[in-house]
Structure 1
């Protein structure tokens, strides 16, 4: 088996080739599901032009499939290309995006936005002084003139995109009227015209503050997403791709670029990992699977409990509630490329990241900041000859220089002590985020994936008090692989004009008609789609979702409906597409793992730290059922894992890996 192609053991089934791509801040992962075989590879993300790393990754994928760079053959034999990205997540984490202006009306104020839960730090970073509230007493031409003056004020203050939001039940009519006047005054064909987003066009949400923040997030993410996705689609069409590029979204479904709104790409990469985690938990019977997807810029944390991915009806984005359901994934600013700095004699890690350009110092691309990748290299865990499948040469001397300059020197530590301090801070940051997200119970299993997830998973588990860790066979590209469990689909909503059966019938006709037209654009007849209806109920007790089975209001809802409650009908239309599958089992006949080499690694901590020659186990060389105890190093083409003392590993017939604390076996 060629370790650079890193083909997983046969385990998945599909009718045709499926290409899944997960674009991260540092690396872009590609997973090709070809019948019962899975190929995967990685390439450096090119932030200046994300379509460059997309095509480079596809060329590398073609080499893994055919042995030659036959991109045309790969694309012409592919049934679907599904793509997700963490660019939106990373942009918000690092606050990199356009300067937004907000025009408010109907009594909505900047203070209301600023005082929203979780918005204290986001408001000055995304909006700041670029917010104007129109006098609620104004109407007609006076209101329009005030709005024109406000747009000029916001443009002069540096706003490059504008959000227009009115409060109250008449918001849609008020925004629509103002839109007509503003577009006459500032037509979009003029150079320098401000793109404007009117909140009623984005979300049907009676909560004015929540709807406005959703529009703010969408406007912040839109320029980068629009530029890249249409550019990528254009280049793929130039290669005569037969199927459209599908964007995997944070609702767990996929759709064409033209049917995707920017805010739905937020955390879509992590959602891919959660789709894979749900399949993993279901297959192996993990009742509570806590996930850490460690990439270059962030660690994405989620939970599968009772076979269900934890999600919220109004998902939180950077701590602020939005109008759309979201998988509950937290992106902690700690990753393999996170920057270490000493501030007031304390070592800090993240949230800033060197990304892929220039990347960690050891990449030799001009980076001078110290990262965890540099520390793992300096500590001996990484081998320059095998890192990244041998395709990326890394430089120990550059790593040493960065660690000495940024960490060792300021703290007065030698190289080994500096590496220990960096690892301790890195592990602590991840563990605290995991514990804060979900808490730890006796039945918690930790899933470690992403390129940096397995590195020191045993130490993270020890920090948490968890005794079992699962590393999927496709850990290094698990979010890309998880996209393979998604279908093509969209969600639609409409308010009930009256809270009775007639109002429900009217809303049903509206959402069904919209769904039929939208799914036709996805190449599917509505008769071939799976339709799921639900009612969202907003009243004094909050917002809740009630499943809908028939064409009448449920009796329990009709009886308990409070006066003034607002009902909104939701329809999810899904076109099923081929999925991946999982087949492995743990607990079979044990076979001693084979080690053909050793690796000298810094182990232990504090005064007891030392460099020791540990057995090196290549994952690709192990038979099904292979087991061994730590301390050891477990490695495959795209990830490395240190098995600490007191832990052991088992590799099953599918290539999935279970780490167990020996004292609890």
Structure 2
């Protein structure tokens, strides 16, 4: 069977979505930060029970063609600054100033690199001695990994330095410090982007390497024939050994964007704003005219990098973000309690309040049905933490504190969304992730958006979206001129790399689609021209610009098919009960509806609670909901 399994590993929960060509099976499990491969196998075991009626992990694994895996661990590590200290070896005293131009760059540089910068003279007679002294100083100052960034052009000086460092700091020594050479990592001629790309990759690499290889080794123990595929932020997948840590950053949101694009096509929506609310972050991206907004030179946390990236912003606002008091005001994030100890209501020893605790005490969440009844929430622990950390410091009653905390959360999320809203009347928010449906109405109202779409697979939507990815690799090389010989050499070099990599992926180039482009950048690194290229054709470069040849190689995989998403004739919904919820007018009973029990067209006004598979949607007062033909939930602000 050509079963496809997609996994999205988040800071608090890990989502698994399996597709057998006809039906979806999906589940969620708590992320295990002590061993991230454990939650992967916990989730696979749970989904095997969904499929077979009893746990049967071996049969599931051996009936699967591909397992694709994305993770927010890189995003979370950068948001929370959890990673190795990085050092830089450069030949320019102005490198630090160049890397610290903007406030975002200064903050990230100070946290990742700080004062660990060594400036060398590559023309010095005693280069070997100078390197040894200055690298030793970086290590003494705490550098666990070092980036070497020398020269404005790839003139071979970094290779000379590599030879020296390999002799003086051989890799076989215990405690040897890894080096990354910027020109090996990227041929981008804009120094700041190239160096920042190397620094961020260096920071993320050990975290990603450790658990991805561990997960792959555990799969091999089960004699899984096909390798684990890593889903990347460019929308393609590749095996662990052929993946770059930098490209795992924001990969989960890219899966959400692919799913959002599919929804936009099904519903005919012009402008869709994705908000993927996980445990640690809210990821915001845009689909316009059926296309995912992508930058040829992307950015991470406001830092320009050398590689393409979908235009996703990550805000430190999630279901496990800490809500606290600072200087007499309620703050939200960016620190997160993660899955361990998790929100106080999880009962794992958490001592900080989160929106999950707030929604439990508001009455939005049922303590016995969280994660479809697979996890019981502790209201007493949540109450004690909210009273201790927010209500008492501000002199508020419990209900006053809960209302203020919820509004602070809505404001934080809505403020993060607002910059991406160009025309509120033409914008639809697609809200998903475990915490998205609970907060979508409140955040949308702050951002001025009146329509929210919650897919029925909202709880695992990024994992679902990974199902639209193919196996792929991309390559880039400088073009110093466009003579036939230069173009032929550049083309042959990229083809050789592609043939090697795709062979290691298990495919030949004959099975792949090849896409060539030539792009030119001005002196400031901005793209001034980009056009498709066919090998053998003449190329005219932009005068005074630097140019590059790019090859993207894609091996198409099986794709998920979506049901019809039309809107059905309105009908009364089928209630499943009622729940007492704290609203603007105090506590009152509101109807509860089970999404999977509703017929297409089911429509009602808020306030209401809609329970979906592994998620709870709050329809606030002044909003209405409509169940589409595909079983998705459309919310409209009627005020």
Per the shorter chain, which TM-score range? over 0.9
Aligned twin of 2:618:
642
Write out aligned runs for 1:528-547 (5 A): 528-540=511-523, 542-544=526-528, 546-547=530-531
Distance (Å, rounded) in 2 between the aligned partners of 1:544 and 1:68: 58
Aligned CA distance change for structure 1 residues 429 and 440 (closer, same or farther; 3 Å): farther
The answer on whether the counterparts of 2:297 and 2:307 sit within 8 Å (CA) in structure 1 is: yes
Structure 2 residue 564 is matched with structure 1 residue 551: no
Aligned twin of 1:311:
294
Structure 1 residue 340: Cα displacement: 1.2
Aligned twin of 2:310:
327
Distance (Å, rounded) in 1 between the aligned partners of 2:638 and 2:76: 38
Distance (Å, rounded) in 2 between the aligned partners of 1:465 and 1:341: 26
Distance (Å, rounded) in 2 between the aligned partners of 1:133 and 1:437: 40
Aligned twin of 1:584:
564
Distance (Å, rounded) in 1 between the aligned partners of 2:538 and 2:409: 50
Distance (Å, rounded) in 1 between the aligned partners of 2:237 and 2:453: 27
Distance (Å, rounded) in 2 between the aligned partners of 1:579 and 1:357: 35
Aligned twin of 2:543:
562
Structure 1 residue 437: Cα displacement: 3.4
Aligned CA distance change for structure 1 residues 107 and 460 (closer, same or farther; 3 Å): closer
Moved more, 434-443 or 152-161: 434-443
Structure 1 residue 461: Cα displacement: 1.8
The answer on whether the counterparts of 1:110 and 1:133 sit within 8 Å (CA) in structure 2 is: no
Aligned twin of 1:148:
132
Q: Deviations over 1:502-548 (max 9, x none)?
A: 43232112111211111111111101111111112122362245232
Moved more, 531-540 or 44-53: 531-540
Aligned twin of 2:492:
509
Aligned twin of 1:574:
554
Pick one of 353, 363, 377 that aligns with 2:336: 353
Aligned twin of 1:50:
36
Secondary structure of the equivalent of 2:319?
coil
Whose relative contact order is higher, 1 or 2, with alpha carbons under 8 Å and at least 6 apart?
A: 1
The answer on whether the counterparts of 1:250 and 1:327 sit within 8 Å (CA) in structure 2 is: yes
Distance (Å, rounded) in 1 between the aligned partners of 2:637 and 2:337: 34
Distance (Å, rounded) in 1 between the aligned partners of 2:325 and 2:214: 40
Structure 1 residue 456: Cα displacement: 2.6
Moved more, 506-515 or 31-40: 506-515
Secondary structure of the equivalent of 2:372?
helix
Q: Deviations over 1:421-459 (max 9, x none)?
A: 111110111111111234443201111000000003122
Structure 2 residue 80 is matched with structure 1 residue 104: no
Aligned twin of 2:450:
467
Secondary structure of the equivalent of 1:388?
coil
Aligned twin of 1:598:
578
The answer on whether the counterparts of 1:585 and 1:653 sit within 8 Å (CA) in structure 2 is: yes
Structure 2 residue 638 is matched with structure 1 residue 662: yes
Aligned twin of 2:143:
159
The answer on whether the counterparts of 1:83 and 1:247 sit within 8 Å (CA) in structure 2 is: yes
Structure 1 gap segments, 5+ residues each: 1-14
The answer on whether the counterparts of 2:68 and 2:466 sit within 8 Å (CA) in structure 1 is: yes
Distance (Å, rounded) in 1 between the aligned partners of 2:239 and 2:529: 27
Distance (Å, rounded) in 1 between the aligned partners of 2:187 and 2:608: 54
Structure 1 residue 110: Cα displacement: 2.2
Secondary structure of the equivalent of 1:592?
coil
The answer on whether the counterparts of 1:313 and 1:325 sit within 8 Å (CA) in structure 2 is: yes
Structure 2 residue 600 is matched with structure 1 residue 624: yes
Aligned twin of 1:413:
396
Distance (Å, rounded) in 2 between the aligned partners of 1:588 and 1:554: 54
Task: Give the structure-2-normalised TM-score.
Answer: 0.97
Aligned twin of 1:12:
none
Aligned twin of 2:436:
453
Q: Deviations over 1:537-588 (max 9, x none)?
A: 1223622452324336677x55xx213x221100000000001121232322
Pick one of 345, 362, 365 that aligns with 1:382: 365
Secondary structure of the equivalent of 2:104?
coil
Distance (Å, rounded) in 1 between the aligned partners of 2:297 and 2:528: 10
Structure 2 residue 10 is matched with structure 1 residue 38: no
Structure 2 residue 433 is matched with structure 1 residue 437: no
Secondary structure of the equivalent of 2:197?
helix
The answer on whether the counterparts of 1:588 and 1:625 sit within 8 Å (CA) in structure 2 is: yes
Structure 1 residue 362: Cα displacement: 0.3
The answer on whether the counterparts of 2:421 and 2:447 sit within 8 Å (CA) in structure 1 is: no
Structure 1 residue 109: Cα displacement: 2.8
Distance (Å, rounded) in 2 between the aligned partners of 1:260 and 1:93: 21
Aligned twin of 2:13:
27
Secondary structure of the equivalent of 2:332?
strand
The answer on whether the counterparts of 1:51 and 1:232 sit within 8 Å (CA) in structure 2 is: yes
Write out aligned runs for 1:239-254 (5 A): 239-254=222-237
Aligned CA distance change for structure 1 residues 554 and 650 (closer, same or farther; 3 Å): farther
Aligned twin of 2:78:
92
Distance (Å, rounded) in 2 between the aligned partners of 1:219 and 1:334: 25
Structure 1 residue 641: Cα displacement: 1.1
Distance (Å, rounded) in 1 between the aligned partners of 2:286 and 2:375: 33
Aligned twin of 1:81:
67
Q: Deviations over 1:59-104 (max 9, x none)?
A: 0111111111100000000010000000000000001100111111
Distance (Å, rounded) in 2 between the aligned partners of 1:118 and 1:367: 31
Distance (Å, rounded) in 1 between the aligned partners of 2:508 and 2:186: 25
Aligned twin of 2:381:
398
Write out aligned runs for 1:209-358 (5 A): 209-358=192-341
The answer on whether the counterparts of 2:499 and 2:508 sit within 8 Å (CA) in structure 1 is: yes
Aligned twin of 1:124:
110
The answer on whether the counterparts of 1:499 and 1:567 sit within 8 Å (CA) in structure 2 is: no
Structure 1 residue 128: Cα displacement: 0.5
Aligned CA distance change for structure 1 residues 549 and 183 (closer, same or farther; 3 Å): closer
Aligned twin of 1:10:
none
Aligned twin of 1:615:
591
Secondary structure of the equivalent of 2:241?
helix
The answer on whether the counterparts of 1:536 and 1:569 sit within 8 Å (CA) in structure 2 is: yes
Distance (Å, rounded) in 2 between the aligned partners of 1:291 and 1:128: 34
Aligned CA distance change for structure 1 residues 184 and 281 (closer, same or farther; 3 Å): same
Aligned CA distance change for structure 1 residues 327 and 646 (closer, same or farther; 3 Å): same
Structure 1 residue 318: Cα displacement: 1.2
Secondary structure of the equivalent of 2:339?
coil
Aligned CA distance change for structure 1 residues 553 and 343 (closer, same or farther; 3 Å): farther
Distance (Å, rounded) in 2 between the aligned partners of 1:280 and 1:246: 25
Structure 1 residue 620: Cα displacement: 1.6
Secondary structure of the equivalent of 2:474?
strand
Aligned twin of 2:510:
527
Distance (Å, rounded) in 2 between the aligned partners of 1:601 and 1:642: 10
Distance (Å, rounded) in 2 between the aligned partners of 1:49 and 1:483: 23
Aligned twin of 1:168:
152
